[in-house]
Structure 1
Amino acid sequence: MLLGLTAGLAQAQPQQADSVFIRKIYDETLARGKSYEWLRELTKQVGPRLSGSEGAKKAVVWSKELMEKEGFDRAFLQDVMVPHWVRGAKEEAYIRSGKQKLVVPVAALGGSVATPPKGIEAQVVEVKNVAELEKLGTAGVKGKIVFFNRPMDPTKINTFEAYGGAVDQRANGATFAAKFGAVGAIIRSMTTLLDDVPHTGSMRYGTGVPLIPTAAISTNGAEKLSSLLKENPALTFFFKQNCESLPDAPSHNVVGEIKGTEKPDEIIVVGGHLDSWDLAEGAHDDGAGCVQSIEVLRVLKALGYKPKRTLRAVMFMNEENGLRGGIGYADYAKKNNEKHLAAVESDNGGFTPRGFGIVGTAGQKKQVMGWKELLAPYGLQEIGPGGGGADIGPLAQQGTALFGFKPDSQRYFDIHHTAVDRFEAVNKRELELGAASMAALVYLLDKYGL
């Protein structure tokens, strides 16, 4: 009986110490956190940061200087070549049905080619998926604009599942449409919200097919186009866009580091992607993840914590339209024989924390899920198998355990890849709670390993 009591007390003592320190992490972040003001600087002083742009260059300088100012042991750049796509002049679009001419909001998809200088006007065929397109065949598609109008499933509680079930038409729609002779493609915006805001995002062309211009149309615009097509299948759609792809441009990942005291050769990464789409400030996607990641290191340093392992905050470049930064970082790690124990990514917005998705072995998942009791008081209930993140994904091949920060998903796709992804859309407290949640996980990963 006495032995059992002694063992129980011995087990409880570390957990009590962890609970106290995690409370200190939250206190420091919520009372003296810097992430919100850093986000203000990144969005308002730097602004949009699409790979290859002047904004991306400014963001690299800004983040390196910030981490140097915070006194991290090292701040350095990793060279990476990135795609350089530019939007050009604002897009134009309208539906012409009889004498009616209705202007609708569109945005060119990243990677798309331009229309001819005077635009394109053609009849429209509406489809929900590739199967419907194939059924129409060349006879029903040639010379027309294909309108992909499959909504995100509103019944999915996790909106990332709904996004995953619809985004293939944005990524590959142009390729399938071009196979059947279409002259252009229009894609319903990736959101459950009905509004007049088009959502851009990346698309790609398959080999051996013509490169046809492709744009996203707002959900209200999509609803209107679909309705008018039922009344008049012979209506035409006009759109004009001026985008182009320039030669690849030099850029950088930005890395800040606090050296480990006991196992400096074991590395724990926490990061977000520095690039954003060109339409707005990229506050939630992914300025939030970047400043949260830097805040993780700042908070632990401010509390006097001496990590056993080396902690890195990584600002990845080019997640949006190429993933060159994530791939490049993993390549650097492999080339330098670096051992990455774990990587944590925040790229789902700066909303209220819910938990972490884990990609790793059964034993690793079990160990981290054993920390639920420590993390649950802070709203982190959803801890278990799930996604890691696009930028840290390439590290999995080296045996790195991956952790995706999971905030509440309900509002993310209202603003994702749009002109309304601005600093004002981010709640200070939610952002800081996210940073503290990530810091708590990093602390436990560093203290106990995997």
Structure 2
Amino acid sequence: MKNLLVILLLCASSYVLAQSADEQQIKKIYDASLTEGKGYDWLNYLSNQIGGRLSGSVQAQQAVEYTKRQLDSLGLDRVWLQPVMVPKWVRGVPEFAYIETRPGLTTNVPICALGGSVATPDGGLKANVIEVQSFEELEALGTDRVRGKIVFYNRPMDPTLISTFEAYGGCVNQRYSGAEQAAKYGAAGVIVRSMNLRLDDYPHTGSMNYGDTPVTQRIPAAAISTNGAELLSTTLKLNPNIQFYFNQNCKQLPDVESYNVIGEITGSEYPNEVMIVGGHLDSWDLGDGSHDDGAGCVQSMDVLHLLKKTGYQPKRTLRVVLFMNEENGLRGGNKYAEVAKKKSENHIFALESDAGGFTPRGFSFDCSDENFKKIETWKTLFEPYLIHMFVRGGSGADVGPLKNENIVLSGLRPDSQRYFDHHHAENDTFEHVNKRELQLGAATMTSLIYLVDKYGFTQPIKVKG
């Protein structure tokens, strides 16, 4: 009995010592991030000296060169560029639109072309409008009532959903596939309510896809601001015969070569076990992409900087990956996974930050039950920093292609209530990023990477068939 008691006391003291060491290291990480973090300065340059970084643009290439230089300056074991072919869509001159209630009586409304859309005919497009809330409603109207008209998709984000990403997911299909569906019924064009929970005058762009629609049958698609959508809907109720005019000059050009930017610290004990942390370097062109996803990129770069700053040498190989072309193609994420598979690399963990630079709340994890139970034991280490959310769920678009039975995927989950005020819009700019919130996010990510590196994960047992 006495021996058993001694063993229990030794185990308990070992656990307390481990907790204490982890608490001390995590405190060092947060202190370093809040006093010596580099992310905010990196983001300042990306946003204000380079600007919006649409795939295939000059600015995207400038961002590749700039972030590679910064990673080179950190003294990593290796920094390289991974080539990837990306689409090149250009917006052209600013879009213009108005509501015409009777000949000569017009009201201008803010719009922007959706990424991947074709242009309007020369001189613009003017037609009657039909408002719908869903594809099912469009189908019920049929070709006779839709042909030659502009389809106006006006399903708003659900304000009752506390998870704004869930609200976004509930209506984004009208943006992505709205033109494809409307073209089946002979529509002349598409206008989509912006994915935004507040009422303002900023139209929000985003990717769209024509599916199998022949090139000659593709119709122009644009987003309208939420204030503009409210005005158009109200005006339609008063007079269903109004016309809507819009003009856009966007164009799809041939693919061009770009790059994922990768930096690496080689593991001291298990170099063949790879952890990655990253965000996407490309952005839309209306703002400067500070929240989406400049913030995620600089936080990910800062993870490596903070580990070096606190004197921690990872046991496993750690890479930062700045993915190209998440917004309109996911080519960078797919290319990274393709190369990793060809090289038979053993990725055990991937963490993505692509939800803005707001106050961190926790993480979501895509993993086995056993590994999630292990992760939950770390939760108390984050509670002093008000990180309380460890949940099962999705991770991130760019790390998703790495998914297999071995890897644990994770996404940083900041407070999301203001994210869609800026998402894909002109006001996604540097002044809307709070330095302290950004640095807290970088420290939170670094702390999780530290724990994964120190304790690892349980690998599934492979049963021979």
| TM value normalised by structure 2 | 0.96
Q: Does 1:196 align with 2:201?
A: yes
Aligned to 1:176: 181
Partner of 1:107, secondary structure, is strand
Partner of 1:246, secondary structure, is strand
Partner of 2:312, secondary structure, is coil
State the alpha-carbon separation in 1 of the partners of residues 306 and 385 from structure 2.
17
Aligned to 2:461: none
Native 8 Å contact 2:133 2:155 kept in 1 = yes
State the alpha-carbon separation in 1 of the partners of residues 281 and 374 from structure 2.
31
Partner of 1:204, secondary structure, is coil
State the alpha-carbon separation in 2 of the partners of residues 39 and 364 from structure 1.
34
Partner of 1:404, secondary structure, is strand
Alignment of 1:5-24 (within 5 A): 5-24=9-28
Post-superposition, which runs of at least 4 consecutive aligned residues in structure 1 deviate over 3 A?
none
Aligned to 2:59: 55
State the alpha-carbon separation in 1 of the partners of residues 39 and 100 from structure 2.
48
- For structure 1, the 5+ residue unaligned runs are none
- Match among 31, 42, 47 for residue 43 of structure 1: 47
Q: Does 1:98 align with 2:105?
A: no
State the alpha-carbon separation in 2 of the partners of residues 71 and 280 from structure 1.
32
- CA drift of 1:341 comes to 0.7
- Match among 408, 419, 423 for residue 412 of structure 1: 419
Aligned to 2:290: 283
Q: Does 1:337 align with 2:349?
A: no
* Range with greater deviation from structure 2 (367-376 or 412-421): 367-376
Amino acid at match of 1:56: A
State the alpha-carbon separation in 1 of the partners of residues 456 and 316 from structure 2.
9
Aligned to 1:187: 192
CA deviations on 1:250-279 (whole Å, 9 max, x unpaired) are 000000111100001111000000000011
- Match among 216, 229, 239 for residue 232 of structure 1: 239
- CA drift of 1:398 comes to 6.2
Aligned to 2:357: 350
* Range with greater deviation from structure 2 (122-131 or 1-10): 1-10
State the alpha-carbon separation in 1 of the partners of residues 36 and 313 from structure 2.
20
- Match among 408, 429, 438 for residue 431 of structure 1: 438
State the alpha-carbon separation in 2 of the partners of residues 215 and 398 from structure 1.
40
Partner of 2:128, secondary structure, is strand
Alignment of 1:69-148 (within 5 A): 69-99=73-103, 100-148=105-153
Amino acid at match of 1:405: L
Identical positions, percent: 58
State the alpha-carbon separation in 2 of the partners of residues 40 and 398 from structure 1.
39
1:181/1:416 CA distance change after superposition, 3 Å: same
Aligned residues: 450
Amino acid at match of 1:395: L
Amino acid at match of 1:19: E
Alignment of 1:145-160 (within 5 A): 145-160=150-165
Partner of 2:404, secondary structure, is helix
- For structure 2, the 5+ residue unaligned runs are 458-465
Aligned to 1:293: 300
State the alpha-carbon separation in 2 of the partners of residues 160 and 232 from structure 1.
35
- Match among 162, 169, 176 for residue 164 of structure 1: 169
Partner of 1:136, secondary structure, is helix
Partner of 1:40, secondary structure, is helix
- CA drift of 1:406 comes to 0.1
Partner of 2:409, secondary structure, is strand
Partner of 2:286, secondary structure, is coil
Native 8 Å contact 2:180 2:213 kept in 1 = no
| TM value normalised by structure 1 | 0.99
* Range with greater deviation from structure 2 (427-436 or 31-40): 31-40
CA deviations on 1:211-243 (whole Å, 9 max, x unpaired) are 100000000000000000001101000000000
- CA drift of 1:337 comes to 1.0
Aligned to 1:448: 455
State the alpha-carbon separation in 1 of the partners of residues 329 and 112 from structure 2.
19
Amino acid at match of 2:80: F
- CA drift of 1:208 comes to 3.6
Alignment of 1:304-343 (within 5 A): 304-343=311-350
Partner of 2:16, secondary structure, is helix
- Match among 378, 381, 391 for residue 384 of structure 1: 391
- CA drift of 1:5 comes to 2.1
Partner of 1:397, secondary structure, is coil
Alignment root-mean-square deviation, CA = 0.8
State the alpha-carbon separation in 2 of the partners of residues 398 and 111 from structure 1.
34
Partner of 1:341, secondary structure, is strand
Amino acid at match of 2:70: L
State the alpha-carbon separation in 2 of the partners of residues 208 and 37 from structure 1.
45
- CA drift of 1:399 comes to 3.0
State the alpha-carbon separation in 1 of the partners of residues 235 and 85 from structure 2.
45
CA deviations on 1:116-160 (whole Å, 9 max, x unpaired) are 120000000000001110111001100000000000000000100
- Match among 5, 27, 31 for residue 27 of structure 1: 31
Aligned to 2:462: none
Aligned to 1:4: 8
Q: Does 1:396 align with 2:403?
A: yes
Aligned to 1:266: 273
- CA drift of 1:72 comes to 1.0
State the alpha-carbon separation in 2 of the partners of residues 327 and 2 from structure 1.
53
State the alpha-carbon separation in 2 of the partners of residues 4 and 365 from structure 1.
26
